[in-house]
Amino acid sequence: MKVILQQDIKGTGKKGELIEVSDGYARNFLFPRKLAAPADASNMNDYRQKEAARAFHKQKELEAAQELASKINGITVKVAAKGGSAGRLFGSVTPKEVAEAAGAQIGAPVDRKKLVMEDIKTFGTYEVEARVYPGVTAKFFVAVTEA
């Protein structure tokens, strides 16, 4: 019997999925606990509409991520930091500082958790990768200068 899950069920599927289960499992376990709905005509219509809306929103997120990646790609972000005479910094430049500087430069927020970079402990120029969305990345440069 085909059912549409109303909640996540461990070992069976996630909420909103259309799955095939045995008749007894559906009648005796899923339906009484309101964990699933039968895949009849009206429920299938609702399922198709939700899937179409989900696909539409995912496409919009992908387009927004590609637009952000095109803004970020190839720019040079300048970050000022205090350092000693040997070219080493007092502390390090963190992804939070880089994200704030990049966001201010392009005029759109950049999430610090999506930046892939090594610890920056000296002055110079470094390449940073921003993983904006699954499959969408952008590379830019961070120039660390003395404050």
Q: Does this model's pTM top 0.75?
A: no
The H or E element containing residue 131 is: strand 124-133
What fold is seen in the domain 68-146? Ribosomal Protein L9; domain 2 (3.10.430)
Query: pLDDT averaged over consecutive 10-residue blocks of the chain (147 residues)?
Result: 95 93 96 95 94 96 94 94 88 93 92 92 94 94 92
The CATH class, in words, for 2-64 is alpha beta
Pinpoint the residues of the chain covered by CATH 3.10.430.100.
68-146
Pinpoint the residues of the chain covered by CATH 3.40.5.10.
2-64
Q: Can you give the pLDDT at residue 105?
A: 92
